[in-house]
Chains A and B, each alone.
Chain A
Amino acid sequence: GDSVTQMEGPVTLSEEAFLTINCTYTATGYPSLFWYVQYPGEGLQLLLKATKADDKGSNKGFEATYRKETTSFHLEKGSVQVSDSAVYFCALFVGYSTLTFGKGTMLLVSP
């Protein structure tokens, strides 16, 4: 079946450090890929998405590129802020199904 694997957290960084959160997927079809973010005490919200190979999704300084050859969708940000501290979920969607989420990766950014 379809699945998403994320790196385990927490990821602990200092402010202005470079961030990478790895995500790989297994899908029976040709999926769309997403990153959702969950801030403390809140529900998940869509951060960015990509619908086909080599597409780059971006939002709020975060980027992720759909790599079909490596079945990956790694999340990156050049300079993290304390306010980026949250749990990040990678997810995929294949037609006639629902979103499949990874287990989430907690990011902690210290001043």
Chain B
Amino acid sequence: DAGVIQSPRHEVTEMGQEVTLRCKPISGHNSLFWYRQTMMRGLELLIYFNNNVPIDDSGMPEDRFSAKMPNASFSTLKIQPSEPRDSAVYFCASSLRPAGTNEKLFFGSGTQLSVL
């Protein structure tokens, strides 16, 4: 299996622009997670889905952030409008078993976002 695939690997944009991050989970996995990693705050869970349904989005920092999972093989995280403080590495992860069942997570390589 190719693992969790994220795109793009790097994104540089200007403040106010819309940013869309993409994720393809491992085939057959039932849960998908979006994390943000910064030096100051470490690894933060933003949102997670079970069977394509958003379960908990309490980690999404503001209404500027939104995430969708239209099918089992694709998810997006959108920031509109972007701000410099959104600069971070964004990880997508998937797991075979539903979140809340002692799942093992498989992480993608991340998207390094820089908002100027």
Within 8 Å of chain A (Cβ to Cβ): is B72? no
Q: Which residues of B contact A41 (CB under 8 A)?
A: 109
Interface centre among A41, A43, A95, A99 (most CB of B within 10 A): A43
Cβ 8 A contact of A44, one of B99, B103, B107: B107
Cβ 8 A contact of A43, one of B4, B45, B56, B103: B4
Q: Which residues of A contact B110 (CB under 8 A)?
A: 42-43
B93 touches A43 (CB 8 A): yes
Within 8 Å of chain A (Cβ to Cβ): is B102? yes
Q: Which residues of A contact B70 (CB under 8 A)?
A: none
Considering the chains assembled together, what is the distance between the CA atoms of A102 and B33 in angstroms?
A: 17
Cβ 8 A contact of A95, one of B42, B93, B102: B102
- Number of A residues, CB within 8 Å of B: 21
Contact A95-B100, Cβ < 8 Å, known A43-B93, A43-B107, A45-B107:
yes
Within 8 Å of chain A (Cβ to Cβ): is B43? yes
A42 touches B99 (CB 8 A): no
A44 touches B91 (CB 8 A): yes
Considering the chains assembled together, what is the distance between the CA atoms of A14 and B56 in angstroms?
A: 43
- Which A28-58 residues have a C-beta within 8 angstroms of B? 32, 36, 41-46, 49, 51
Which residue on B lies nearest to A4, using beta carbons? Answer: B42
Extra inter-chain contacts (18) besides given A43-B108, A98-B56, CB under 8 Å: A41-B109, A42-B110, A43-B107, A44-B43, A44-B91, A44-B105, A45-B107, A93-B103, A95-B100, A95-B101, A98-B48, A98-B100, A99-B103, A99-B105, A101-B42, A101-B43, A103-B42, A103-B43
B interface residues, Cβ below 8 angstroms from A? 4, 33, 42-43, 45, 48, 56, 91, 93, 99-110
A interface residues, Cβ below 8 angstroms from B? 32, 36, 41-46, 49, 51, 89, 93, 95-99, 101-104
